[in-house]
Amino acid sequence: MVQLTATPLSALVDEPVHIRATGLTPLQLVVFHASLEDEVGNLFYSRAFYRANEVGEIDLDHAAALGGDYKGVHPMGLFWSLKPQKLVTRLLKRDVMTSPFRVQIKLYDRHLPIETKTSEAPKASVTLERWYVAPGVTRIPVREGRLRGTLFVPSGEGRFPGVIDMYGTSGGLLEFRASLLASRGFASLALAHCGFEDLPPQPDKVDLEYFEEAANFLLKHPKVLGPGIGIVSVCRGAEIGLSMAIHLKQVTATVLINGPNFIFSIPHVYRGQILKPRPHSVQSISINALGFVEFYSIFDESGPETSQSCLPIEKARGPFLFIVGEDDKNVNGKVFAKQATEQLKRHGKNNWTLLSYPGAGHVIEPPYSPLCCVSGIANVCSAIHWGGEVVPHAAAQEHSWKEIQKFLRKHLTPVIPSSKYF
Amino acid sequence: MKSLEFNLATPAIILALAFPWNLSPAQSLLHQGRAESTTWCHCQLPMLQLTANPAKALADEPVHIRVTGLPSSQVVTIKASLKDEKGNLFQSKAFYRANEAGEVDLAEAPAFGGDYVGVHPMGLFWSLKPERALRRLLKQDVMSSPFWVTLELYDSVCIQDSATVLPRASQMVQRWFSGPGVQRQQIREGRVRGTFFLPSGEGPFPGVIDMFGGIGGLVEFRASLLAAHGFAVLALAYFAYEDLPDKLLEVDLEYFEEAANFLLAHPKVQRPGIGVLSVCKGAEIGLAMACYLKQVVATVCINGSNAITEVPLRYKDLVVTPINLFPERTQLHISGALRLRHCRGDPWELNRQSVLPVEKARGWILFIVGENDEFLDGRAHAEQALAQLRSHGRSNGRILAYPGAGHLIEPPYAPLCYMSWNPGISLPLLWGGDRVAHAAAQEHAWGEIQKFFRQHLTPAGS
């Protein structure tokens, strides 16, 4: 009898799953088919072709896919190779607390065509739950003063290292990475900065005092460990994160994913000081063969304007973790991170790590998230090319997530002296 | 996908608007004028003109596009659009900067962004993209109507297609798929089904059979274009057309021999041998024709296999069994399109009997391959065939391998079709190709194809 098992059936979204099929005919060809429906009805599919071994078993931890959405040994390939039925769609979890994503995995005979939908019954199937929050994590909406966000506090006694989590131009409030960080032991504040509730949809400046309020709010919270906080930020969020690290002594560990080392388009202001944006050339926008818009060439990477507008990263106290997708088609993160680290080196600082991932794109998310290589942002552009190749992007997500947690733990938890010094 | 929506009125966060959108170039000139204490008035400004020459030409001829009368150094957008016979819209655009004299000459000026970057005089044509994804641009009526391409000039950088922003200038050009004097004749002779294109004049003209691939039916535009260059061309259908079989279940080489004999029997076709121009599955058949039919003396195989695949070949008593594909090696592109490049194995390893005996070919063979072909590895197939020729002491084969070119290598300036729907398959197929390299390959290959046929089909071999 054909059996399909997946362990664990219910887990955090960043945890791997062990998938096995048994009871097949020896050397039989089969197709594994995964599907997911998001909260707004978008469908995502993936499939891979495998051959059973001599005893009629396929263990995805060891077996190599022959084709489909990926090739080779990729135990979690069915998850990270999920593709939207409508190309320009991004998989985003909105309700992180009360519901998981449900992924259905089905096993079919190979001779079935490579359809996304079929009326034939699978030989076996299993449904998995993928959660964005661990049991016991508390979700606290934050509406203090000007602040708009959501705080996630890990379960358990005592205090936890505090982190501010910021996304980019998509605006609104994305909670899923903060809730996952909380599930991994960090008190995480998902902080909105535009296009959310009474925050302006397109602000004309970045007011760093708003972000200082957020840092202070976090540090004052009874469940947050001080004396400093961390930042996890991507794209426009990383531009703000870098600015915060430079101006706010409260920030003692900063993760910058695919961000610039200068100001993109609206000035930053902090206590009367104004930091102006770097000029760019609109005519350097490219459109690829599928009609997706690529913005990565709009900033001139050399020339006098470049060095004058770089943010003074050497003034920041805390260490930096730069994460760069080398195939990013939206932001030329590789060049900007290199410039930032060169600037630090010139000032005699070595408080940084740069993780540069060939083949990874702009949208580097927690592990096993499907690659989003194109999506739209309301009021900006309906098809922005983010870049990335499926397999290396997945590997980058897996590796960088572990590194982010290691980095935050190292720099936000006090070092307990070892006994040999006593 | 729906046409790109880009809201210019909103100061976008990724993209700040550096240019005064609401000012016309004339007004912005006045602004500059004020700063430098210069006096201008409208009547002194040169007239803005967008010219494209020739306005009416064969689709494989270049067009010289120029803009004059702009303020110096102004950034502009030049857009091209075309509606095919089914109403599908194809569009392209590029951003240029006028020189000091206020001119943009596409023969010399580099595009800074848009669908291509750099100096590409015909870039607007070969970067046309379908508004509704996955459509392929194919001209159906090749005789009585051209493709109309509209060229438009806009101020500044325009990514959005707006109903309210009007072009500053526009020009239409006609792109024809047949030349003056070429006659078109529908063919239903014996089993042969196709269309014959005969140039005007006494002749005789070198005869060529033109075959496409898995698309089936009858595709005429390449045959008609070739005829405009002095060849007598038979666009040959072999399945999914009129009373031919709906599906290709076997390749009956005698059918293709009938077609070759029909062509050679024509009083205005050069003897003693004909050429074959073929792509994809057609190229596999073309190579078989080269091996087995003495009537075929010059064969161009574009991106095809060197072995019989999927369905058997029959020629008189001979039956060649096919190599099957490996569907489990199908890969899925990020877009959901099928990438079939790895579904074929090494023919020599899999079944030597299926490999075409190219050493038997009496004529000349030109293999044309795109190295970025995502449908099949044409280069590997061609190189195996050439190695086979060499091992028999033959030197009648040659390869043109184009880095960056994809599967659908067409006549010059045809837009790259990167992936498209195909009859009988529920998912689109990925053809591959890098736009700039693919365009260069098409331009170069077309000249080589004509040279090859002239060299081997005309007695003088010019």
DSSP assignments along A12-70, one per residue:
ETTS--EEEEESPPTT-EEEEEEEEE-TTS-EEEEEEEEE--TTS-EETTTPPB-EES-
Same domain membership, residue B125 and residue B83: yes
Cβ contact A283–B112 (<8 Å) = yes
Question: Residue B424 above 90 pLDDT?
Answer: no
Same domain membership, residue A224 and residue A91: no
Q: Is residue B420 part of a domain?
A: yes
Mean pLDDT of B431-459: 97
pLDDT at position B29 is: 35
Cβ contact A330–B326 (<8 Å) = no
Chain A residues closer than 8 Å to B129 by CB: 287, 289-291
ipTM over 0.90: no
pLDDT at position B30 is: 34
Average pLDDT value over all residues in chain A: 92
CA B249 to chain centroid: 28
Same domain membership, residue A46 and residue A172: no
Task: Round to whole Å and give the CA distance between B459 and B453.
Answer: 11
Same domain membership, residue B399 and residue B293: yes
Q: How many CB pairs under 8 A join A and B?
A: 173
Q: Is residue B167 part of a domain?
A: yes
Question: Residue B3 above 50 pLDDT?
Answer: no
Q: Is residue A417 part of a domain?
A: no
pLDDT over 70 percentage in chain A: 95
Cβ contact B133–A291 (<8 Å) = yes
A348 CA: distance to closest CA in chain B (Å): 32
From the CB of residue B150, how many other CB atoms can be counted at a distance below 10 Å?
A: 15
Same domain membership, residue B200 and residue B336: yes
CB A67 within 8 A of CB A76: no
pLDDT over 90 percentage in chain A: 81
Stretch 71-130 of chain A: residues touching chain B, C-beta under 8 Å:
71, 81, 83, 85, 87-88, 110, 113-116
Q: Which of A229-238, A275-284, B91-100, B408-417 has the lowest mean pLDDT?
A: A275-284
CB A400 within 8 A of CB A323: yes
Q: Is residue A78 part of a domain?
A: yes
Same domain membership, residue B162 and residue B191: no
Question: Does A266 lie at the interface with B, CB-CB under 8 angstroms?
Answer: yes
Burial of B222 (0-12, 13-18, 19+ CB in 10 A): buried
Which among A97, A131, A165 is the end of a domain?
Answer: A131
Q: Is residue B34 part of a domain?
A: no
Which residues, in sequence order, are bridge partners of residue A52?
Answer: none
If one counts the domains in chain A, the total is 2
Report the CATH number that the domain containing residue B218 is assigned in CATH: 3.40.50.1820
Same domain membership, residue A232 and residue A275: yes
Average pLDDT value over all residues in chain B: 89
Report the CATH number that the domain containing residue B125 is assigned in CATH: 2.60.40.2240
Q: Is residue B170 part of a domain?
A: yes
Chain B residues closer than 8 Å to A371 by CB: 334
Q: Is residue B427 part of a domain?
A: yes
pLDDT at position B35 is: 36
Same domain membership, residue A160 and residue A216: yes
pLDDT by residue (tens digit) across B360-398? 999 999 999 999 999 999 999 999 999 999 999 999 999
**Local confidence band at B1 (pLDDT 50, 70, 90 cut-offs):** very low
From the CB of residue A410, how many other CB atoms can be counted at a distance below 10 Å?
A: 12
Stretch 110-149 of chain B: residues touching chain A, C-beta under 8 Å:
112-115, 117, 127, 129, 133
Contacts of A329 (CB under 8 A, 6+ apart): A288, A292, A294, A295, A296, A361, A362, A385, A386, A387
Stretch 434-453 of chain B: residues touching chain A, C-beta under 8 Å:
435
Which among B176, B194, B214 is the end of a domain?
Answer: B176
Report the CATH number that the domain containing residue A24 is assigned in CATH: 2.60.40.2240
pLDDT by residue (tens digit) across A52-99? 999 999 999 999 999 999 999 999 999 999 999 888 899 999 999 999
Chain B residues closer than 8 Å to A71 by CB: 329, 331, 342
Chain B residues closer than 8 Å to A295 by CB: 14-15
Same domain membership, residue A248 and residue A102: no
pLDDT by residue (tens digit) across A222-267? 999 989 999 999 999 999 999 999 999 999 999 999 999 999 889 9
Give me the residue label for tokens 């594994």.
Answer: A32
Q: Is residue A421 part of a domain?
A: no
How big is chain A, counted in residues?
422
Contacts of A131 (CB under 8 A, 6+ apart): A10, A11, A12, A13, A100
| Token output for A182 | 């909380």
Residues B373, B381, B434, B456: which is the catalytic one? B373
pTM over 0.90: no
Report the CATH number that the domain containing residue A203 is assigned in CATH: 3.40.50.1820
Q: Which residue has the higher pLDDT, A421 or A38?
A: A38
Whole-number Cα distances in Å, A117 to A127, A371, B430: 17, 21, 20
Helix axes B253-265, B281-292, angle to 10 degrees: 70
Whole-number Cα distances in Å, A85 to A69, A273, B337: 14, 48, 11
Same domain membership, residue A168 and residue A143: yes
Question: Does A43 lie at the interface with B, CB-CB under 8 angstroms?
Answer: no
pLDDT at position A118 is: 66
Same domain membership, residue B259 and residue B140: no
Which among A96, A131, A166 is the end of a domain?
Answer: A131
Same domain membership, residue A319 and residue A227: yes
Mean pLDDT of A268-296: 89
Q: Is residue A357 part of a domain?
A: yes
A328 is a catalytic site residue:
yes
Same domain membership, residue B170 and residue B211: no
Same domain membership, residue A323 and residue A212: yes
Same domain membership, residue B373 and residue B261: yes
Stretch 61-120 of chain B: residues touching chain A, C-beta under 8 Å:
75, 93, 95-97, 112-115, 117
By Cβ distance, the residue of B14, B113, B133 closest to A380 is B14
B242 CA: distance to closest CA in chain A (Å): 28
Same domain membership, residue A271 and residue A337: yes
- The range of the structural domain enclosing residue A269 comes to 138-412
Q: Is residue A288 part of a domain?
A: yes
Closest residue on chain B to A265 (Cα):
B16
**DSSP letters spanning B45-103:** SPPPEEEEE-SEEETTS--EEEEESPPTT-EEEEEEEEE-TT--EEEEEEEEE--TTS-
If one counts the domains in chain B, the total is 2
Q: Is residue B30 part of a domain?
A: no
Same domain membership, residue B172 and residue B190: no
Which among B114, B147, B176 is the end of a domain?
Answer: B176
Question: Does A338 lie at the interface with B, CB-CB under 8 angstroms?
Answer: no
Q: Is residue B408 part of a domain?
A: yes
Same domain membership, residue B208 and residue B135: no
Same domain membership, residue B413 and residue B348: yes
A280 is a catalytic site residue:
no
pLDDT by residue (tens digit) across B280-336? 999 999 999 999 999 999 999 999 999 999 999 999 989 999 999 998 899 999 888
- The range of the structural domain enclosing residue B353 comes to 183-457
Residues A74, A247, A268, A362: which is the catalytic one? A362
Q: Is residue A375 part of a domain?
A: yes
Same domain membership, residue A271 and residue A385: yes
Closest residue on chain A to B128 (Cα):
A289
Which among A116, A131, A146 is the end of a domain?
Answer: A131
Q: Is residue B40 part of a domain?
A: no
Task: Round to whole Å and give the CA distance between A377 and A369.
Answer: 19
Same domain membership, residue B282 and residue B265: yes
B373 is a catalytic site residue:
yes
| Token output for A38 | 């998001």
From the CB of residue B236, how many other CB atoms can be counted at a distance below 10 Å?
A: 30
Q: Is residue A239 part of a domain?
A: yes
Residues A194, A235, A372, A373: which is the catalytic one? A235
Same domain membership, residue A339 and residue A208: yes
From the CB of residue A185, how many other CB atoms can be counted at a distance below 10 Å?
A: 17
Residues B60, B155, B280, B438: which is the catalytic one? B280
Cβ contact A380–B15 (<8 Å) = yes
Same domain membership, residue B158 and residue B234: no
Which among B158, B176, B194 is the end of a domain?
Answer: B176
